[in-house]
Copies of this chain bind each other. A is one copy, B any other.
Amino acid sequence: MEHGIKPSYPRIKILEYLITKRSHPTVDEIYSNLVKEIPTLSKTTVYNTLNLLISANIVRVVASEENETRYDADVTSHGHFKCEKCGAIYDFRIDVGALKTDDLKNFKIKEKNVYYRGICEECLDNIENKI
């Protein structure tokens, strides 16, 4: 595994889950799905591994207003949209660098997050079709 982390089986599977699913899952989602394949997996290992991946900058936490921590293996700059109907978190492209932030000119910015909330296209369509 990259960044000097030893690639144990649980670690590989957890990162693989994040990369392939791209659902910005919670610890619970990761654990519930992987425990089928790795019956000895513990939730503590999921927490440990995610925190390890975060300190290695391979994984990021999705900023949100909810008190549910969601994880993302895409560490490139992009925004998140959470649908309040279906709960899904969508990625979207956004040029965060284009934003002028004079107020922070003497601050050291390490990470930028853009988080929107609303109703996704699919849920809007469903509402229309019900009428």
Contacts and interface: CB of A to CB of B under 8 A. Distances in A.
Interface of A: 60-65, 67, 69, 79, 81, 83-84, 90-96, 98-104, 106-121, 124
Given A63-B63, A69-B67, A107 B118 contact: yes
B98 A94 contact: no
Copies of this chain, complex-wide, total 2
Contacts of A115: 63, 112-115
Contacts of A113: 63, 65, 113-117
Given A96-B99, A110-B117, 20 more contacts: A61-B65, A65-B113, A79-B101, A81-B109, A83-B107, A93-B101, A94-B100, A94-B101, A98-B98, A98-B99, A101-B116, A106-B121, A106-B124, A107-B120, A107-B121, A109-B116, A113-B113, A113-B115, A114-B114, A115-B115
Contacts of A91: 103
A67 B65 contact: no
A111 B116 contact: yes
B114 A119 contact: no
A66 to B, nearest CB: 8
B124 A119 contact: no
